Structure 1
Amino acid sequence: MTPLVLHYAPDNASLCVRLALEMLGTPYRTQLVDRRARAHKMPEYLLRNPMGLIPVLETPGGPMFETGAILLWLADDAGRLFPAPAEAARGPALSWLFWLSNALHPALRARFYPRQFPEAAPEAARARVMELLEIAEARLFPVMTEMEPGILDCYLAPMLRWLALYPEEGDWPPLSRWPGLESLAKRMEAEPATARAAEAEGLGPAPFTRPEPCRPREGSAL
C-alpha cells in the first residue's frame, strides 16, 4: 500500500494530523510546505486544497483537506480514536469535533491573523476565544474524559499550545485557569505519539502544558 503523504509545516494544523497518524501507527511520509515562500498559495498546492491552507493529506482516493475531515477519515478508516457509527457516544463526539473545527479553530485564526480578519477587533477575538474555552472546560472536558485519547485530543491539544505562544506580544492566561483542559493536555503529552511528533517538529519536551517556540529541523511555523 502506498503510504499517505502529509503536506505539512511545523507547528501548524498539520500537527493535529501528524499526532493522529502517529497514534494509529499508520505509514506515512511528509512533504514540507514552505510557508516563507508561500508555497501553500501556489497553483500546484491549490489543486490539492483550494483554500490554500495547511494541511493536505494525500490518500489512495485523492487529496483531503480540512483538519477535522482528515482526522475523522483516519479514525474511521482505522476503527480507532473515535466512537464507531453504531456507538451511542458517536453523536456527541461528532458534535464536539465539528465544534472544534467550526468554532474554536476559526476563533484562533481570527486572533492569530488579525490582518486576514479585519472585521474582528483584537479585543473581540480574544474575548471570543476565552468564551469558547469556558464552554470547553464546562462541556467538552466531561465528554472527552469518557473516552480514550483520540482525534479530539489531537485537535484540541495543539490549539491549547498555540494560544500560549501566539501572538508573541500577547499576554495569555496560564492553562491552569482551565484545570480540565490542562488535564487533557497532560494526558496527550503522555502519549508516545506526542513525543514522536514533538521530536519531528522541534516542539520541546512538554509541547502542550509548557510550550516553547518550535525549533524545527526544516521549514518554518510562521
Structure 2
Amino acid sequence: MAQTLRLHYAPDNASLCVRIALEELGSPYQTVLVDRSKQAQRSEAYLALNPNGLIPVLETPHGPVFETAAILLWLSDTAEQLMPPPDSPDRAHALQWLFWLSNTLHGTQRMLFYPDQYTTGEVEPLRAATRRRLVDKLDLLNDAKHASWIDADEGTAQGCYLGPLLRWCAIYGGSPDWFDLARWPRLLKFAERIEKRQAVQRAASAEGLGAKPFSAPQPCDPPEGSAV
C-alpha cells in the first residue's frame, strides 16, 4: 500500500472502525471530512464514490471501496495483518464474526439509531424491540466459542469493528438505562484492553472521543465535523 489512502469520514461514524484499522496497520492515509450537518454524504460527488450515500468510503489504488466490513477485509488482506491468511484454519471463524458484526450487530443498531427508516408507524415500539434484540446478540457474543479474537492482545479486524459498536450502544441508544457493558464481563474486558492500544488512542484523539472511548464512552467533541 505504497500509495496514500483517502478515508472519507465523519467523527464517531462507521469510518472510525476503518481509521482504527489504518492506525493498527501503520498505513499512510489522508482523511476527507464528510460534513453530515450539510448532508454531504448525499452530494453528487460523494454518491459517485458510494451510491448508498453512507459513510465510510476508502479511496484505494484500485478505486473507491465502501461497506465497513469490505474495507476492513481489503485492508487486512492487502497488508496481511489483522485477519488470518486465506489458507489458515482460523480464517473461516474470523470471517464469520467480521460479517456477523456487520450484518447482525451493526445492522440491528441501525434500526435503533434510525428507526424512521424502518417503520412508518410509531418508532418507540421498534426501538424497544431492537434493544431487546441487541441484548440477546451481546449475550451471544459474550459467551461465543470460536471467538478467541475477543480475548486477544493483538489488533484484529473484528476488534476494530466491535469497539465502536459497543461505544454506540452506550451513547446513541435513545435511552440511557438499557445498556450497561458490565453485564457482559468478557466484552467489558475487551473494551478496556483495546482502548489502551496506541492505534485506538490515536484514532480517539483525532475524533475527540475521550480517554475511555469504549469502556466508559462520552459524547465526542471532534475538532471538525459532526457525529450526527
TM-score by length of 2: 0.93
Does structure 1 conserve the Cα–Cα contact (< 8 Å) formed by 2:151 and 2:190? no
Displacement of 1:118 after TM fit? 1.2
Larger deviation: 154-163 or 126-135? 126-135
SS of 1:29 mapped into structure 2: strand
1:153 matched to 2:154? The reply is no
Query: Is the CA contact (8 Å cut-off) linking 1:163 and 1:172 kept in structure 2?
Result: no
The alpha-carbon distance between structure 1 residues 106 and 39, as it changes in their structure 2 partners (threshold 3 A), is: same
The residue aligned with 2:191 is: 185
1:4 aligns with 2:5: yes
Task: Quote the residue 1:33 is aligned against.
Answer: 34
Q: Answer with 92-101 or 170-179: which moved more.
A: 170-179
Residue of structure 1 in register with 2:205 after alignment: 199
> 4+ residue runs of structure 1 moved beyond 6 angstroms?
none
3-state DSSP class of the match of 2:7?
A: strand
Give unpaired runs (5+ residues) of structure 1: none
Alignment partner, residue 139 of structure 1:
144
- Return the alpha-carbon distance in structure 2 between the equivalents of residues 22 and 152 of structure 1: 14
Deviations 1:131-153 (A, max 9, x none): 11111111168432465321100
Equivalent residue runs for 1:91-130 within 5 Å:
91-118=92-119, 121-130=126-135
Query: What is the distance in 2 between the residues matched to 1:170 and 1:191?
Result: 27
Distance in 1 (alpha carbons) for counterparts of 2:211 and 2:151: 27
1:63-82 mapped onto 2 (5 Å cutoff):
63-82=64-83
SS across alignment from 1:215: coil
Task: Tell me the residue number matched to 2:45.
Answer: 44
8 A contact 1:10–1:201 mirrored in 2: yes
My pick for the range that moved more, 201-210 or 171-180, is 171-180
Counterparts of 1:146 and 1:187, CA distance in 2? 9
Contact kept? 1:33, 1:219, Cα under 8 Å: yes
Aligned mates of 1:194, 1:19 — CA distance in 2: 6
Amino acid at match of 1:89: D
- Alpha-carbon offset, residue 168 of structure 1: 4.7
Question: How far does the alpha carbon of each residue in 1:22-72 deviate from its partner, in whole angstroms, 9 at most, with x for none?
Answer: 000000000000001000011111111111100000000000000000001
- RMSD of aligned Cα (Å): 1.5
2:218 maps to what in 1?
212
Q: Among the aligned pairs, what percent are the same residue?
A: 52
Separation in structure 2 between the aligned mates of residue 38 and residue 140 of structure 1, nearest angstrom: 41
Say which SS state the counterpart of residue 10 (structure 1) adopts: coil
Change (3 A) 1:96 1:89: same
User: In structure 2, how many angstroms separate the alpha carbons of the residues matched to 1:140 and 1:31?
Assistant: 38
Q: Which amino acid aligns with 1:172?
A: W
Q: Which residue in 2 is equivalent to 1:56?
A: 57
Residues 70-100 of structure 1, C-alpha deviations (whole Å, 9 max, x = no match)? 0010011011111111111100110111111
